[in-house]
Amino acid sequence: TRTPLMAGNWKMNLNHLEAIAHVQKLAFALTDKDYDACEVAVLVPFTDLRSVQTLVDGDKLKIKYGAQDISAHDSGAYTGEISGLMLSKLKCSYVAVGHSERRQYHAEDDEVCNAKVKAAFKHGVTPILCVGEGLDIRKAGQQVEYTLAQLDGGLKDVPAEQAESIVIAYEPVWAIGTGEVATPEDAQEVCGAIRGRLAELYSQELADKVRIQYGGSVKSGNVAAIMAQPDVDGALVGGAALDADEFVKIVRFRD
Ligand code: 13P
């Protein structure tokens, strides 16, 4: 059985002081019961990582944290980039790779995402590979083929020993930040297909281990129905994760 991963993607929100206050609020609210039921993580801006690490380490918090992007390179003349070495030094558990906003605004293609997935594994940071179709693809009924092609590209030449710990986030672009949440059936259709492809690429045993999240306008009011789907193992939450009380309600989706 897969432990659900409930992760907040803060995107470009919350400076390091706000980050500390926010994580303190989460830590105050979350109990051992919550951490037994789910893994809880926040993906924060690079400038927040050190502050969050200091807080989590100092207070021995069970909340996990990570970054929203990673360089494909380890070090060197790559102005503005942050490497997996740097993220692992800050004890990041996770890093988002290929979020649709990176693909859209920074022209990240599957080849770049594949290099970033490999860079994350190389440094012991678990990648959360984000995949999902835009509205035109959805309207054409091509969401499964399109999303599986992104999955194939992101996982190219990634060995099973690494792939078994990856997290896949299915985030239909038309549902991100729009209030337009996919129906639970929409989410299950693609998440189920992702697990099927993992079984083809690797093995059923591996596919059964991998956590597949849904992301796109997740809120406390819709999370339970989505999490009830057999192939949905967590949520990647944008806007609603910026409100600590709301995010805690999302973590408690079973209540
Ligand atoms: P929203 O929850 O704001 O729709 O964002 C989803 C997302 O992109 C998480 O990575």
| ipTM rounded to 2 decimals | 0.99
Q: What is the pLDDT of residue 180?
A: 87
99 given a catalytic annotation: yes
The amino acid sitting at 10 is W
- Smallest CA separation from ligand 1 atom 1, residue: 238
The dihedral through the CA atoms of 243, 244, 245, 248 has a sign that is: positive
Residue with tokens 């194939």: 152
Q: Is 171 in the pocket of ligand 1 (CB under 6 A)?
A: yes
Q: Is 239 in the pocket of ligand 1 (CB under 6 A)?
A: yes
pLDDT, tens only, 132-153: 999 999 999 999 999 999 999 9
What does the domain layout of the chain look like in residue ranges? 5-251
Q: What is the pLDDT of residue 1?
A: 85
| Domain 5-251: CATH architecture, name and number where available | Alpha-Beta Barrel (3.20)
Using pLDDT thresholds of 50, 70 and 90, give the confidence band for residue 206. very high
Determine the average pLDDT of the residues in 92-100: 98
- Smallest CA separation from ligand 1 atom 5, residue: 238
Q: Is 234 in the pocket of ligand 1 (CB under 6 A)?
A: no
**Cα–Cα distance between 97 and 115 in angstroms, integer?**
10
- Smallest CA separation from ligand 1 atom 7, residue: 238
81 given a catalytic annotation: no
pLDDT, tens only, 109-136: 999 999 999 999 999 999 999 999 999 9
The dihedral through the CA atoms of 208, 213, 219, 220 has a sign that is: positive
Torsion on CA atoms 229, 235, 241, 247, rounded to nearest 10: 50
Query: Which of 5, 171, 213 has most ligand 1 atoms within 8 Å of CB, for mutation?
Result: 171
